[in-house]
Amino acid sequence: MILQRAGVVTLALSCTMQVMACASGTVQPPHGPGGDPPPAGGGMEHVAAIAEEPRTESATASRNTNPPDTKPAPDANVAFASTTKANAADSSAPAERPKQITARHVLIQYMGSERAGSEVLRTREQALALAEEVLRRARAGEDLGRLAVEYSDEPNAAARGGSLGRFGQGQMVPAFEAAAFKLKVGEISDVVATPFGFHVIQRTE
């Protein structure tokens, strides 16, 4: 009987000491595994939130992420280079040479030139200087037909205004033909030397 009372007293004293310790903060309430306090609701809500979070982010990323555009951008430099080459090829292509043209000219002869008349007494140097004067005046705007009347040594040139009419390739001496067929309509040549003397040529058609 005495022992039972002593046990009761000991148990009561132990409970009193625990209550006092809890009140003073020296004894912490029991924690969950690992020392962390158990979450409210038995921790199930916290676990569910953690498990759900990555799935939500993944789904959002999947919805908001567009597939990469794999179509190659056009290369502007290549396109530009191709266009430039095509234009260069077009501009470098020689213009088709006409089969026939019309032209007029002023012929300045000198002593010893082919078919020069006996009235031609100027030297070759004098003839060249006179041809260059005719060229200067023609390019300054004077009419070559009028200059032919004034200066040309070709027979009947004055009546025709120096016109040669229409002629084709192979009908004139090579130097004259080469110069005349290179001209544009209305263009005046440089002084051209042939066995007949010095010519200033203008293409008319």
What residue segments make up the domains of the chain, in order of their start? 100-203
- Fold assignment, 100-203: Chitinase A; domain 3 (3.10.50)
Cα(64)–Cα(110) distance, integer angstroms: 94
Kindly report the pTM of this predicted structure: 0.56
The model's pLDDT over 179-196, given as tens digits with 9 standing for 90+, comes to: 999 999 999 999 999 999
Q: CA angle at residue 155 from 150 to 161, to 5 degrees? A: 45
Please give the pLDDT value at position 96. Answer: 77
H helices present in the chain, as ranges: 2-24, 44-64, 76-92, 124-139, 144-151, 157-160, 174-182
The model's pLDDT over 151-181, given as tens digits with 9 standing for 90+, comes to: 999 999 999 999 999 999 999 999 999 999 9
Cβ contact 204:193 at 8 Å: no
Q: What is the mean pLDDT of residues 89-99?
A: 66
Q: CA angle at residue 22 from 12 to 24, to 5 degrees? A: 115
Cβ contact 134:189 at 8 Å: no
Of 27-36, 92-101, 118-127, 149-158, where does mean pLDDT reach its minimum?
Answer: 27-36
* Higher per-residue confidence, 178 vs 18: 178
Please give the pLDDT value at position 41. Answer: 46
Can you give the length of the chain in residues?
Answer: 205
Percent of the chain with pLDDT over 90: 52
The model's pLDDT over 46-90, given as tens digits with 9 standing for 90+, comes to: 434 434 444 444 444 445 555 555 555 555 454 444 544 555 545
Cβ contact 194:115 at 8 Å: no
Q: Is 204 exposed, middle or buried (0-12, 13-18, 19+ CB in 10 A)?
A: middle
